Amino acid sequence: FIQIDTYLSICCCNNEFQSTTFNKRRLQRHIEDDNELERDGFCQNPFFECLVAEVPEEHKSKEGFTVVGYALYFYTYSTWRGRSVYLEDLFVMPEFRGNGIGKGLLCKVAEVGRKKECVRLQLSVLDWNKPSRDFYAAKGAQDLTVSEGWHFIRFDGQNLDNLANEAPKD
C-alpha cells in the first residue's frame, strides 16, 4: 500500500516533504533552512537524490502525514570498481516500520543504481544500531569493518577549514 517516488514529484505536489517527511525534527540539528535542501537537491548538478514513500490518505501517520519514509542517496566513484551509489540515510517513521517500506526504499535505490550502471551500493551504520545492521545483513550487505578492516574517516568543521587552508595556492 505504499508508493515510492522521487523527491521531485512529491515535493512539487505536496509540501509535506519539506515540512515533515524529511522528518524536520530529526534533521533540524543538521539542516536549519528548507531552502538549503532545495538548493542542494535541485541545482544543475544536485548533491543528492531522494526517494520518498507515501501511503494513501486513509493510512496517514498519527500526525496526519502521508509521506512516511525516505531514502537519500548520491553517486560516488571507486578507483577500484567504478560507479557506486551511496545511501546517506534511510528513514521510516517508527509507526510504519516492519511493513516493508524500508526494504522497498532500499531495493528502489539499488534499482536506480543499477540503471546508472553502479557496481555497488554503500552505506554506513552506527555500531549501536544493531536493528539496522541486521536489516542490511539480511539483505546480503557485507560489514567491511569486520571483513576488510575499513575505517570511516571524516574531516568537518574547523578540521576541514584547516585542511582547506593548507591547499596549494594557484
| 70 catalytic residue (yes or no) | no
From the list 7, 70, 86, 136, the catalytic residue is 136
- How far apart, in whole angstroms, are the C-alpha atoms of residue 81 and residue 22? 31
Distances (CA, A) of 67 to 12, 29, 141: 13, 21, 27
Inter-CA distances, 55 with 89, 92, 136, Å: 20, 12, 23
Q: Nearest CA to 10 among 64, 75, 55, 73? A: 55
Task: List, by residue number, the catalytic residues.
Answer: 136
